[in-house]
Amino acid sequence: MLAGREWLAIHTPGHTEDHLCLLDPDSGLLISGDHVLPTITPHISGMSYAADPLAGFFASLDKVANLGTQLKLALPAHGSPFTNVVERVEHIKEHHVERLDKLRQIGADFDRPATVMDIAKHLFSARAQGPMADSETFAHLEHLRLAGEFDRREREGLLEYVRVS
């Protein structure tokens, strides 16, 4: 119970492992937090106990999208309230699929194993470089590695990835 309403807590790992969305089923109000944002995509951290944080995030997005017509209004942690939650979920998933495709292309262009930081420089703009870009690149690379599309090795204390031919 919160503010005289009964809320349903929905575990939505992805942005963080412990992320929750809250749904008031009576009104269709979803407190989406950092899980579904109206104009930007949430950061997916590779620094997680989960083996594949990106797969977990996709499953969490599907969980929210499956609420479908129950959802009337979302209150995000960033940006204005919005109503097109299911459509927004699909756009966020498409963004990450595009990122995966771009990583496949980057991997094809590299003729040697590369560090996460080297790859992040090709995935993110110069303005977005830094620990969060590296962490998200790592999450995406691990997703592709677990799918058998990249190999990983450790050299001199750094992880390096190479696309499987």
Give the full edge-to-edge strand order of the sheet including 158-163. Answer: 114-115, 158-163, 150-155
Domain total in the chain = 2
* Rounded mean pLDDT, 111-116: 93
User: Which CATH number goes with the domain that contains 127?
Assistant: 1.10.10.10
pLDDT tens string 35-94: 999 999 999 999 889 999 999 999 999 999 999 888 999 999 999 999 999 999 999 999
pTM, two decimal places: 0.92
pLDDT at 3: 83
pLDDT value at residue 16 = 84
Domain boundary among 88, 117, 138: 88
Q: What is the DSSP string of 5-74?
A: B--EEEE--SSSTT-EEEEETTTTEEEEETTS-SSSPPP--S-SSSS-HHHHHHHHHHHHHTTGGG--EE
Structure confidence at residue 165 (pLDDT): 80
| Range 90-114 average pLDDT | 95
Check whether residue 67 and residue 141 sit in a common domain. Answer: no
Please give the pLDDT value at position 1.
Answer: 85
Considering 56, 71, 88, which residue would you say is the last residue of a domain? 88
Q: Quick one: average pLDDT of 109-123?
A: 94
Residues 111 and 147 in one domain: yes
**Whether residue 82 sits in one domain with residue 100:** no
